[in-house]
Amino acid sequence: MHEKLTTRFAPSPTGYLHIGGLRTALYNYLYARNKGGNFLLRIEDTDLKRNSKEAAWAIVEAFKWCGLEFDGEISYQSQRFDLYKEYIQKLLDSGKAYYCYMSKEELEHLRAKQEEAKERPRYDGRYRDFKGTPPQGIEPVVRIKAPQSGEIVFEDGVKGEIKFKVEDIMDDFIIARSDGTPTYNFCVVIDDALMGVSDVIRGDDHLSNTPKQIVLYEALGFKIPKFFHVAMIHGEDGKKLSKRHGATDVMEYKEMGILPQALLNFLVRLGWSHKDEEIFSLEELKKLFNPYHINKSASCYNAKKLEWLNAHYIKTLSFEEINRQLKELGFDLAVYERAGFLLDLLRERAKTLHDIIKGAKSIVNAPQNYDENAVQKFINEENLHLLRAFSNALENQKTSKEFEEFTNDFLEKKQAKLKDLAQPLRIALTGSAVSPSIFEVLEFLGFDECKKRIENFLKIRGK
């Protein structure tokens, strides 16, 4: 029987979920779902100085917002210290790890000597076979007996064969500090092995940890997982993505009115592709995603593309889904009459959810004031007369089609053009010159309300 494929996302909580992290999480999630496997969430919070409960919580919140579900309970490394200690003891007992009593002064001396000889700084193994009486007053660290020659080779699912020469990178590295706390690579290996993680997809900033982890897997007699190291996301200038290029906190995208569907679609394409398609629902991705098809090279963040995808999802998702996301931003469209019509009217041009919110507010509420720039640009004596005549001529039209036909007849009689009427009408009805199809706005507001708003505007403008 095959074991269930198991992936995991293992963030170190430092304050928020980074979009690069979300991409890693997404790839792991999709691969697990594709194979009917498990996707685990593990919070790597052993650095008690840097990691806070709030920071871990921020990651869980961001996950919830994106709709990525993990299997089982979240595990926290900070709650697993006893387990790590148990395995450190096992390695000590079996002679695969040992206490090292080197003092700070000895270490400094060694470093200085290596620097002078232009050698790579590394531990020289002086306590590897130590059998004597331990020196007084030194709390020892625990070091692994790492290989001293040869190569560490593995087949990366993204990058192909990766080879490290032991003499270039390895030494008997520390697995437990002198206060007994386990080190980073050790915890990762114990957790991945005991949690049955079969496939590790992570950023290639972890590539240099992999040979150390392989050494530990071998010492512990655990099965080595399949590794996929994904190239970083770069900004448009080719440099590593940072706040200069755009928001890096996932929840900032939420505040910007980006839909999680758009963000996930955007992220999956930063490093993976299927034919020349751009739009993928999560359901499609679960069927299509294959980590062996992740690009080798770094991918480039493109804000315009995210905006384009967001506009696409705003246009196509159900009312319920859009409104669910609007509510996350504190706005409930469903309280308005004909909310579905209102959304359809607004979503054609919206790039973010804020466009919907702003648009809805400007249509539903009679304008309290009028955009001065728009007034300057679009209002003059002539078109105010036209608007007055239009208001007088309006009858009890109901549908956008009726409003449109009426308007066309009216303009023909007046020998005027739609552009002379449309902007003043928009300003009168919504306070600004940006609104969706004017006929649909007329239909949504209805004859009485339209008339009231136009009259109000004309009164203020003295016509």
Q: Is residue 450 packed enough to be buried (19+ CB in 10 Å), middle (13-18) or exposed (0-12)?
A: buried
Tell me the C-alpha distance between 46 and 12, whole Å: 8
Shortest Cβ distance from residue 46 to ligand GLU (Å)? 9
| Rounded least distance, CB 42 to ligand GLU, Å | 8
Residue 12 CB, nearest distance to ligand GLU (Å)?
4
Distance CA 189, CA 187 (A): 5
Residues 169, 166: Cα–Cα separation, whole Å: 6
Our CB check for ligand GLU shows the closer of 77 and 352 to be 77
Q: Which is nearer to ligand GLU, 54 or 332 (CB)?
A: 54
Q: Is 159 a catalytic residue?
A: no
- Between 240 and 377, whose beta carbon lies closer to ligand GLU? 240
Minimum distance, C-beta of residue 266 to ligand GLU, in the bound complex (Å): 21
* Residue nearest to ligand GLU according to CB distances in the complex: 202
Centroid of chain to Cα 432: 34
Least separation, in Å, of the C-beta of 247 and ligand GLU? 19
Taking the least distance from each CB to ligand GLU, the nearer of 208 and 380 is 208
Cβ atoms 431, 452 nearer than 8 A: no
Residues of the shown chain interacting with ligand GLU in the complex, contacts defined by CB under 6 A: 10-12, 44, 188, 202, 206
d(CA 6, CA 191): 12
Q: Which one from 223, 239, 243, 419 is the annotated catalytic residue?
A: 243
Nearer of residues 11 and 260 to ligand GLU, judged by Cβ: 11
Dihedral pair phi/psi, residue 14, rounded to 5°: -125, 10
DSSP labels, 218-284: HHHTPPPPEEEEEPPEE-TTSSBP-TTTS--BHHHHHHTT--HHHHHHHHHHSSB-STT-----HHH
CB neighbours (10 Å) of residue 7? Answer: 29
Known catalytic residues? Answer: 243
